[in-house]
Copies of this chain bind each other. A is one copy, B any other.
Amino acid sequence: MRTAIFFQKKKIKIKKLFPKHSFKKDIIVTNIKSLNTAEKSDLTFFDTIKYKNLAAKTNASFCITKKKLQHFLPLKVEKIIVDNVLFELANVLKQIYPLADVDYPDLSLKKPNLKKFPSVKFSNNVLIGKNVKIGKNSMIGSNTIIEHDVIIGKNCVIGSNTNIKNSIIGDNVIIQDGNKLGQKGFGFIPLEKKNFKFPHIGKVIIHNDVEIASGCTIDRGSIEDTTIGNNTYLDNQVHIAHNVKIGSNCMIAGQVGFAGSAMIGNNVSIGGQAGVSGHIVIGNNVKIGGGSGVVKNIDDNQVVMGYPALPLKDFIKNSKK
């Protein structure tokens, strides 16, 4: 995946980030990443035993974790033992990425410079941020805002009144009217007087041939990215929370909602107004009936319906009682 820098990043050494902890060497933290994507001199975090297998293989140099989880991590990883992993993580994110916890308006927006985009068609009042890249033969509808550093592929059609930020969009993607992509997700550390906003440093990645109807909201990832696979189609008013990963060739009907970090396979079809809980894993070739509430993982090739969602046969049996 091509790289793009959406958030200003500060170079801070590990001892400055955690002055109460001791470290073998005081180096600059390159980045903050998840257990499985972190590399040398990155900082990661490990908060729940669910991820112990990923923890055992992490390449991160530093890991924020709890006392009782530390022994799952490789010896070479320097452990930062805390009481509240997510709070400490949010705190460090805020120091390294000071502008990722609030969606400040992009003050670099301008009318598109047509010399820079010779084969792109812009309708009226389009606003384009710094360093935006748009591929050949793409079209952008009126009143649409593409914020700084966004990358849009070729042969895309973006509708009107749509806002795109912190996103990388493939080729042949259609995004209709009134969509919002790349805004901060719903993540914070609840505190009684004033919540601590969790900085969101992830992106939205839309692969090729995707179609997004109207009035959808797709939040960027918190640490990882929010992604939508090739040839997946979304209907109107779909809500996709931070870190959700949807595979290829999916069909998502109107008003479906995905809570944070849900993972959806390929060739999945979901009926209107269904909801998928956070951190749920749904396999390939799954069919989910309209209005269902998915609260458990679903294996490949299942057909489910209901609230909570059950195998279709059981749903029909229950409905006849």
Interface residues of chain A, those whose CB is within 8 Å of chain B, are 102-107, 109-110, 121, 123-125, 127, 139-143, 145, 157, 159-161, 163, 172, 174, 176-178, 180, 183-186, 188, 190, 192-195, 197, 209, 211, 213-215, 217, 219, 230-231, 233, 235-237, 239, 241, 249, 251, 253-255, 257, 259, 271-273, 275, 277, 290-291, 293, 295, 306-308, 318-319, 321
* Residue in B closest to A197 when the chains form the complex, CB atoms: B211
Taking CB atoms, residues of chain B closer than 8 Å to A174 are 102-103, 197
Please indicate which of the listed interface residues A104, A215, A291 has the most CB atoms of chain B within 10 Å of its own CB: A291
Q: A102: shortest Cβ distance to chain B, in Å?
A: 5
* Residue in B closest to A194 when the chains form the complex, CB atoms: B209
Q: Cα distance A143–B230 when bound, in Å?
A: 31
Q: A141: shortest Cβ distance to chain B, in Å?
A: 4
Partner of A255, one of B125, B188, B219, B239: B239
Q: Are A257 and B273 in contact (CB under 8 A)?
A: yes
Q: Cα distance A214–B215 when bound, in Å?
A: 10
Q: Are A176 and B103 in contact (CB under 8 A)?
A: yes
Q: Cα distance A307–B193 when bound, in Å?
A: 32
Q: Cα distance A306–B308 when bound, in Å?
A: 9
Q: Cα distance A213–B121 when bound, in Å?
A: 30
Partner of A275, one of B103, B195, B197, B273: B273
Q: Are B109 and A123 in contact (CB under 8 A)?
A: yes
Q: Are B139 and A142 in contact (CB under 8 A)?
A: no
Q: Are B241 and A239 in contact (CB under 8 A)?
A: no
Q: Cα distance A272–B184 when bound, in Å?
A: 17
* Residue in B closest to A316 when the chains form the complex, CB atoms: B308
Taking CB atoms, residues of chain B closer than 8 Å to A127 are 124-125, 142-143
Q: Are B159 and A105 in contact (CB under 8 A)?
A: yes
Q: Are A190 and B249 in contact (CB under 8 A)?
A: yes
Q: Cα distance A251–B188 when bound, in Å?
A: 10
Taking CB atoms, residues of chain B closer than 8 Å to A194 are 172, 209, 231
Given contacts A142-B109, A143-B161, A233-B195, contact A183 B190 (CB under 8 A): no
Q: Cα distance A110–B142 when bound, in Å?
A: 10
Taking CB atoms, residues of chain B closer than 8 Å to A106 are 123, 141-142
Q: Cα distance A50–B219 when bound, in Å?
A: 42
Taking CB atoms, residues of chain B closer than 8 Å to A306 are 307
* Residue in B closest to A208 when the chains form the complex, CB atoms: B194
Taking CB atoms, residues of chain B closer than 8 Å to A185 are 213
Q: Cα distance A290–B255 when bound, in Å?
A: 14
Q: A69: shortest Cβ distance to chain B, in Å?
A: 26
Please indicate which of the listed interface residues A192, A213, A231 has the most CB atoms of chain B within 10 Å of its own CB: A213
Q: Are A180 and B257 in contact (CB under 8 A)?
A: no
Q: Are B178 and A177 in contact (CB under 8 A)?
A: no
Taking CB atoms, residues of chain B closer than 8 Å to A190 are 249, 251
Q: Are B254 and A241 in contact (CB under 8 A)?
A: yes
* Residue in B closest to A232 when the chains form the complex, CB atoms: B195
Taking CB atoms, residues of chain B closer than 8 Å to A254 are 186, 217, 239, 241, 257, 259
Taking CB atoms, residues of chain B closer than 8 Å to A293 are 273, 290-291
